[in-house]
């Protein structure tokens, strides 16, 4: 049995723009509903949602039968948790708050086996290698790994050129909410200054030959980022969509009383 291919890398090659959604509700039924909805990728968000390792694995299993690419956003750059995620079968990481090229280079080391990195051997005993049923996991793991770093502070934005020079970083994801807070706009991700900053970064990232990602919940914002070259855009979040839907539903029927 061959090792699994990275669905996200395949979709990025095939699609002009890959649309994704945030998974913050931890129940695997929610993960399966999202997986069957037609999105190209799903972020299992362990930074802002209460996901532990077992809950993440539950979501990966729920999403596996569907034509969607799961990825995980860990709480940070903790090497132990990242190692556990990789051994659990995660092939795409979206790492938040990466400010310096040194931090990015260390992440590359964590996700690659020696001699290219320092990832510990042990995945052959776990889910990543299908519990030992694959014969080529270690030989192919580095090729199937996708590391996307998040630029979401003033410091990171100023370091963008240096971050793009780090070999082994597959993509850069601009976080407009945190970036806006860092720039003094208190989380207003649709502030015109922030939109222009993100667009400028998208152009630079694509010129460097890397995946350019960001998030926008408005059609006009998505269109603006697409025109700037973004080929990975988050367009929604499960908790927000549920909250909005239940409020809209009861509002509609209250107006009928």
Q: What is the pLDDT of residues 152-174, one digit of tens each?
A: 999 999 999 999 999 999 999 99
Mean pLDDT of 107-128: 92
Average pLDDT, the chain: 96
**Helices (H), ranges, the chain:** 7-14, 28-35, 53-63, 79-87, 101-111, 137-144, 154-158, 160-164, 176-182, 192-207, 219-227, 238-254
233 is written with which tokens?
A: 């855009």
pLDDT at 124: 73
For residue 18, give every residue at least 6 positions away whose Cβ sits within 8 Å of its Cβ, in sequence order, or none: 8, 11, 12, 40, 41, 69, 231, 232, 233
Higher-confidence residue of 182 and 122: namely 182
Residue range 236-246, pLDDT digits in tens: 999 999 999 99
User: 3-class DSSP state for residue 51?
Assistant: coil
Query: Cα separation of 49 and 183, whole Å?
Result: 25
Superfamily of domain 7-254, CATH level 4: Phosphoenolpyruvate-binding domains (3.20.20.60)
Residue range 42-94, pLDDT digits in tens: 999 999 999 999 999 999 999 999 999 999 999 999 999 999 999 999 999 99
Where residue 99 falls among pLDDT bands split at 50, 70, 90? very high
Residue 227 Cα distances to 173, 184, 222, angstroms: 16, 26, 9
Higher-confidence residue of 4 and 214: namely 214
Q: Which of 26, 166, 13, 7 is closest to 91 using CA atoms? A: 7
How many residues would you count in the chain? 257
Query: Cα separation of 47 and 72, whole Å?
Result: 9
Where residue 149 falls among pLDDT bands split at 50, 70, 90? very high
Residue range 123-133, pLDDT digits in tens: 777 899 999 89
pTM of the entire structure?
0.96
pLDDT at 218: 94
Decide if pLDDT at 187 tops 80.
no
Give the catalytic positions in this structure. 48
Give kind and range of the element (H or E) at residue 230: none
Decide if pLDDT at 203 tops 80.
yes
Where residue 140 falls among pLDDT bands split at 50, 70, 90? very high
Residue spans of the domains in the chain: they are 7-254
């Amino acid at each position: 049995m061959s090792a699994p291919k990275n669905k996200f890398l395949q979709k990025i090659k095939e699609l002009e723009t890959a649309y994704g959604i945030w998974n913050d509700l931890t129940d695997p039924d929610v993960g399966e509903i999202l997986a069957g909805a037609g999105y190209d990728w799903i972020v299992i968000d362990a930074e802002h949602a209460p996901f532990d390792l077992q809950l993440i694995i539950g979501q990966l299993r729920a999403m596996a039968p569907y034509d969607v690419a799961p990825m995980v956003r860990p709480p940070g750059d903790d090497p132990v948790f990242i190692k556990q995620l990789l051994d659990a079968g995660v092939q795409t990481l979206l790492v938040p708050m990466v400010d310096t090229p040194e931090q990015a280079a260390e992440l590359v080391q964590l996700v690659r086996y020696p001699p290219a990195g320092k990832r510990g051997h042990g995945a052959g005993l776990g889910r990543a290698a299908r519990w030992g049923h694959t014969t080529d996991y270690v030989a192919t793991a580095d090729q199937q790994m996708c590391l996307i770093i998040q630029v979401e502070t003033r410091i990171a934005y100023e370091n963008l050129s240096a971050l793009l020079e780090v070999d082994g970083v597959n993509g850069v994801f601009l976080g407009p909410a945190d970036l806006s807070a860092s720039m003094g706009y208190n989380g207003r991700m649709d502030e015109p200054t922030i939109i222009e900053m993100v667009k400028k970064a998208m152009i630079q990232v694509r010129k460097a030959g890397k995946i350019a990602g960001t998030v926008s919940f408005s059609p006009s914002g998505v269109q603006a980022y697409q025109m700037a070259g973004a080929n990975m855009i988050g367009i929604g979040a499960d908790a927000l969509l549920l909250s909005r839907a239940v409020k809209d539903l009861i509002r509609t029927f209250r107006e009928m009383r």
